[in-house]
Chain A
Amino acid sequence: MTRRGDTAGGPAHEAGRWHLRGVRPLGGDPVDLLLDGGIIAEAGRDLSAVGATVLDADGLVALPGLVDLHTHLREPGREDAETVASGTRAAALGGFTTVFAMANTEPVADTAGVVEQVWRLGRDAGHCDVRPVGAVTEGLRGTRLAELGAMASSAAAVRVFSDDGNCVSDAVLMRRALEYVKAFDGVIAQHAQEPRLTEDAQMNEGAVSARLGLPGWPAAAEEAIIARDALLAGHVGSRLHVCHVSTAGSVELLRWAKSKGWRVTAEVTPHHLLLTDDLVTSFDPVYKVNPPLRTAADVAALRAGLADGTIDCIATDHAPHAPQDKETEWMAARPGMVGLETALSIAIMTMLETGLLDWAGLADRMSVAPGRIGGLPGGLTGGRANALAGGQAGGQAGGHHHPPVAGSRPSRAAAHDVHPAGAGALSLSAGAVANLVLVDPVARWTVDAGALASRGRNTPYAGRKLPGRVQATFLRGRPTVLDGKIA
C-alpha cells in the first residue's frame, strides 16, 4: 500500500479527500473510492479526483468499519490493564470503527455520569467511536435496576445494557429490565450464567475438567438462562441479546427462539470459534476465559450457527488484564483474553477459509449485524451498509430473523444470488458514511503479545501465524490506521 500526493493545507491523516484505488469491496471486483467530507463521495472504476491523497490499495478487500458489541476498556478503574485510548488504538488496528464499552468498570457504568465520561474519553482519543454499555443493575449487584433511562438520555445515548461478568439471574428483575428498555428501544445483553450451577467454576465441565480436577462450568448453566430469557423476551415482546454464546445447546435454543419470531440476537467470540478446552491441560491461565473454552463439537456448532445466521454476529469480549492477574495459578487468575487486534484474522481463519462465509457474510457478522443490534445510526454501519454488505443484511432488517433451515446457509446464498458483484454494491454506497477497513487478504502475520497496542498481553494466539492483515481503517473519512499502523 503506497500513497501519493496530499490534501492541501493539512497532513494526510486529517479528514480530507482520499482516493482509494483498486480496492475490492467485500472481495468483489476492484474499484476506486473517493472519500470526501466524511462520506463515500464517489465509487466507480478509474475515478479521477484532483487534490485527493491517492492510496494505492490494489488487491485490498474493503469492508465496512467493524463494530464490536463487547469490549472491556477497563477505564475508569483499571487503567493499568487498559485505557479508553489504548483499547481504542487496538480497536482501530483491528479494523473497528465502533466499540461498545462494557459496564464493569470501577466505578461501574451505572449512571449517566460514568457513561458520559467513557463516551467523552473515546471521543477525545479519536481512534474509533466508543458507545458505552450501561449496567442493568446498580453496581452489577443484580438487586435493583440502575437508572437506565438517565443513561439512555445522556450524551452517551446508551442503548445496550448489560451486567456482563455477572448474570442478571433474578428472573423478575430480568423481566422488568427487558420491559423497561422498550421505552427507548434498548436491548438487554445478558451474560448467561446460572450462578449456583457455576460456583467456583473454572473451565468447561466434561472429560478435561474431570481429569484436571478443575471445578466444572456446565453447558446447562448457560443454556438454562438463555432458554428462560428467550421465553421472557417472547412474553413481553422485548429485545434480548445473548453475549458470548459458547455451547452447541445454546445454538439450538437460539434457533428455536428465532423460529418463534422472538426478538432474540446473539454473539460469539473469536476464541469460541477456534479454541477448545483441551488447551487447559497446560494450566496456563492465558486460556482462562468466561464462558470457558468448550469442546470441538461446540466449536463446530458455533461456526455453523454463525454461518446460518442463528448467531448474528462476532463480538470480541476483549478483556485485557494486568500481568499479575494472569501470571498465577489457574484458579487465582482472572478470566479473559484480549481480542480486538486478532478478531478479524480469527474470523477469516474460522469462517472465510473454511468456506462457511464469504466476505459479504463476514461484513454482515462483524459490522452490519452488530451495528443494528447496538442501535447505531445509518451510514456505513447502518442502513447503507445493508446494501454494501449484500442481500442477506436486508433480509434480516428490523432485527427479526427468518428461522434458518437446518443445514442451509441462507446468508451465503443471498450474498451470491442477490448481490453478485461488488461494483453494484458500491454504486449504492456512494453517500454513505466513510467508515471502512482495508484488509490485505493474503498477508499472514505472527502474533507478538508484546507488540499489541492493547495494554493487555493476554492473547491466546501468541506465536501463531494468522491470515489477513488490516492495512487501513477510516473513521468518517479520516484514517485512524494507515500501513497497518496508527495514523
Chain B
Amino acid sequence: MMRHLLSTQDLGRDDALLVLDTAEYMATVAGRSVKKLPTLRGRTVVNLFFEDSTRTRTSFELAAKRLSADVINFSVRGSSVSKGESLKDTAQTLEAMGADAVVCRHPASGAPHRLAAWVRGSVLNAGDGIHEHPTQALLDAFTIRRRLGRVEGLSVTIVGDVLHSRVARSNVWLLSTLGASVTVVAPPTLVPVGVEQWPVAVSYDLDAVLPTSDVVMMLRVQRERMTAAFFPTEREYSRRYGLDADRLAAMPPSALVMHPGPMVRGMEIASDVADSTRSTVVEQVANGVSVRMAVLYLLLGGTREVP
C-alpha cells in the first residue's frame, strides 16, 4: 500500500481492490454493539480542513475513532494565505504535534501534494479544489459493488458539472481502473478542454445515454455557474440534465442513482428520485465511514491481512 492517498489516478487496481475488501470487513464493525477496533490506538490523526465540510470531516473523524486513533480537528477558515500562515508553516506545526496521518481538505488543487512533501506522516486527500476526492470515489465504487456485485463491465454515467468536480475526476480514474466503462454527460461548457485524453466517452445528451446505464451518478451543480454563462437558467439546466421521474423510468430497472451530496433538489435531481429505492444517497454516507476506516488502516501500517 502506498504511503499517501492523494489521487485515484495513481492508485493501482490491486490497491484499490484491497481498500474495497478491507472496507467490507470494516462495515461489519458498524453492525456490532461496540463499534470500535483497537487497531490505531496511540496513533494521531489530524483532520486539517481549510474548507468547511461537516459531512466529510465527520465521516473521517468517525472512521478514525472507530479505529481507536486520537483525532484532532484543525480547521482553518478561508485560505491559509489570508490567515497569514502558510501551508508550509501549518505542515511544520502538525509535524511538531507528531501527526501520523493528516486528512486534508483544501480549496486549492494540489495542496495535499505539497503537504505530503513537508510532513513525515501519511496524507489523505479529502478533496482538493477541483482536482480529486479519492475517498469519495472509493466509497462510490464500494457502494456499486455492494449493490450490483461488481464494478467491472458496468456502464457508469456521470452527469453534471464535470469541469468543476473533483468527485468526477476521482471517479473517472478509479472506475476505469476497476474495469467500468464511463460516460460523462454535461453541457459542453462544463466539460473540460482536454477531456479527450480521459478514458471516457463524452455525451451532451442525457436521454440518449440513460437506457444503457447501469449506474447514473449525479453531480451537484452550483447555482453561481449560471451567472458565469455556463448555462442560461436553472430551469433549462434542469430540463436538459436534471434527473426526474421520467428519466428514472427510462433507465434499466436495476440501475442505480447515486449522488455524492449535498444535493440541490429540484436542480440536478428531483426529490422523488433522490428518495427512491433506486437511490443510494444514504448508503453512500454509511459506506463512506467504512471506506475511510479501510484507508486509514492501510496507510497507517495495516497489512494485507484483514484484521
Closest to A213 in B: B131
Inside 8 A of A216's CB, which chain B residues have their CB? Answer: 192-194
Inside 8 A of B106's CB, which chain A residues have their CB? Answer: 329
Inside 8 A of B187's CB, which chain A residues have their CB? Answer: none
CA of A213 to CA of B127, assembled, Å: 11
Closest to A327 in B: B88
B193/A210 in contact, CB under 8 A: yes
B113/A283 in contact, CB under 8 A: yes
The yes or no answer to B86 lying at the interface (CB within 8 A) is yes
The yes or no answer to A214 lying at the interface (CB within 8 A) is yes
For residue A72, give the distance in angstroms from its CB to the closest CB of chain B: 21
Given known contacts A282-B113, A329-B114, A332-B79, A210 and B197 CB-to-CB distance under 8 angstroms: yes
CA of A282 to CA of B196, assembled, Å: 22
For residue B136, give the distance in angstroms from its CB to the closest CB of chain A: 14
The yes or no answer to A330 lying at the interface (CB within 8 A) is yes
B194/A214 in contact, CB under 8 A: no
The yes or no answer to B108 lying at the interface (CB within 8 A) is yes
A298-331 interface code vs B (CB 8 A; 1 in, 0 out): 0000000000000000000000000010011111
B240-256 interface code vs A (CB 8 A; 1 in, 0 out): 00000000000000000
Q: Which of B109, B114, B192, B197 contacts A328 (CB 8 A)?
A: B114
Inside 8 A of B9's CB, which chain A residues have their CB? Answer: 211
A210/B192 in contact, CB under 8 A: yes
CA of A207 to CA of B129, assembled, Å: 17
CA of A329 to CA of B89, assembled, Å: 12
For residue A426, give the distance in angstroms from its CB to the closest CB of chain B: 52
Q: Which of A205, A282, A330 contacts B108 (CB 8 A)?
A: A330
Q: Which of A202, A211, A282, A328 contacts B194 (CB 8 A)?
A: A211
B108/A209 in contact, CB under 8 A: no
CA of A328 to CA of B80, assembled, Å: 9
Inside 8 A of B87's CB, which chain A residues have their CB? Answer: 328-329, 332
A211/B114 in contact, CB under 8 A: no
Q: Which of A209, A327, A329, A331 contacts B192 (CB 8 A)?
A: A209
Q: Which A residues from 385 to 419 make CB contacts under 8 A with B?
A: none
A332/B81 in contact, CB under 8 A: yes
Chain A interface bracket (under 10, 10 to 19, 20 to 34, 35 or more)? 20 to 34
Inside 8 A of A202's CB, which chain B residues have their CB? Answer: 109
For residue A297, give the distance in angstroms from its CB to the closest CB of chain B: 14
Given known contacts A213-B129, A213-B130, A329 and B108 CB-to-CB distance under 8 angstroms: yes
Q: Which A residues from 244 to 285 make CB contacts under 8 A with B?
A: 282-284
CA of A225 to CA of B113, assembled, Å: 35
CA of A330 to CA of B81, assembled, Å: 12
Residue among B80, B113, B196 with the highest chain A CB neighbour number at 10 A: B113
A327/B198 in contact, CB under 8 A: no
Q: Which B residues from 65 to 99 make CB contacts under 8 A with A?
A: 79-81, 86-88
A212/B88 in contact, CB under 8 A: no
Q: Which B residues from 28 to 80 make CB contacts under 8 A with A?
A: 79-80
For residue B165, give the distance in angstroms from its CB to the closest CB of chain A: 9
A-B contact count (CB 8 A): 80
The yes or no answer to B220 lying at the interface (CB within 8 A) is no
The yes or no answer to B11 lying at the interface (CB within 8 A) is no
A214/B198 in contact, CB under 8 A: no
Inside 8 A of B192's CB, which chain A residues have their CB? Answer: 209-210, 216
The yes or no answer to B263 lying at the interface (CB within 8 A) is no
The yes or no answer to A87 lying at the interface (CB within 8 A) is no
B197/A211 in contact, CB under 8 A: yes
Q: How many residues of B contact A (CB 8 A)?
A: 28
For residue A307, give the distance in angstroms from its CB to the closest CB of chain B: 29
The yes or no answer to A201 lying at the interface (CB within 8 A) is no
A213-240 interface code vs B (CB 8 A; 1 in, 0 out): 1111010000000000000000000000
For residue A322, give the distance in angstroms from its CB to the closest CB of chain B: 11
The yes or no answer to B111 lying at the interface (CB within 8 A) is yes
Q: Which of A209, A212, A284, A332 contacts B80 (CB 8 A)?
A: A332
CA of A282 to CA of B194, assembled, Å: 18
Q: Which B residues from 106 to 135 make CB contacts under 8 A with A?
A: 106, 108-111, 113-114, 128-132
The yes or no answer to B148 lying at the interface (CB within 8 A) is no
Given known contacts A213-B129, A213-B132, A324-B86, A329 and B110 CB-to-CB distance under 8 angstroms: yes
Closest to A282 in B: B113
The yes or no answer to B201 lying at the interface (CB within 8 A) is no
Inside 8 A of B169's CB, which chain A residues have their CB? Answer: 211, 213
Q: Which of B80, B86, B114, B166 contacts A213 (CB 8 A)?
A: B166
A210/B110 in contact, CB under 8 A: no
B109/A208 in contact, CB under 8 A: no
CA of A231 to CA of B188, assembled, Å: 32
The yes or no answer to A37 lying at the interface (CB within 8 A) is no
Given known contacts A211-B197, A216-B193, A330 and B86 CB-to-CB distance under 8 angstroms: no
The yes or no answer to A375 lying at the interface (CB within 8 A) is no
Inside 8 A of B109's CB, which chain A residues have their CB? Answer: 202, 212-214, 283, 330-331
Inside 8 A of B129's CB, which chain A residues have their CB? Answer: 213-214, 331
The yes or no answer to A431 lying at the interface (CB within 8 A) is no
For residue B252, give the distance in angstroms from its CB to the closest CB of chain A: 30
Inside 8 A of B128's CB, which chain A residues have their CB? Answer: 213
Inside 8 A of B80's CB, which chain A residues have their CB? Answer: 328-329, 332
Given known contacts A327-B86, A329-B114, A331-B129, A207 and B108 CB-to-CB distance under 8 angstroms: no
The yes or no answer to A441 lying at the interface (CB within 8 A) is no
Q: Which B residues from 287 to 304 make CB contacts under 8 A with A?
A: none
Residue among A209, A210, A282, A324 with the highest chain B CB neighbour number at 10 A: A210
B193/A205 in contact, CB under 8 A: yes
The yes or no answer to B286 lying at the interface (CB within 8 A) is no
Inside 8 A of A213's CB, which chain B residues have their CB? Answer: 109, 128-132, 166, 169
For residue A325, give the distance in angstroms from its CB to the closest CB of chain B: 10
A205/B113 in contact, CB under 8 A: no
Closest to B130 in A: A213
Closest to A204 in B: B194
B88/A207 in contact, CB under 8 A: no
A212/B81 in contact, CB under 8 A: no
The yes or no answer to B264 lying at the interface (CB within 8 A) is no
Q: Which A residues from 325 to 361 make CB contacts under 8 A with B?
A: 327-332
- Apart from A206-B194, A284-B114, A332-B108, 10 more pairs, CB < 8 Å: A202-B109, A205-B193, A210-B195, A211-B197, A213-B109, A213-B131, A216-B192, A218-B193, A330-B108, A330-B114
User: Can you identify 12 A-B contacts, CB atoms within 8 angstroms?
Assistant: A202-B109, A205-B194, A209-B193, A210-B192, A210-B194, A211-B194, A214-B109, A216-B194, A283-B109, A283-B110, A328-B80, A332-B80
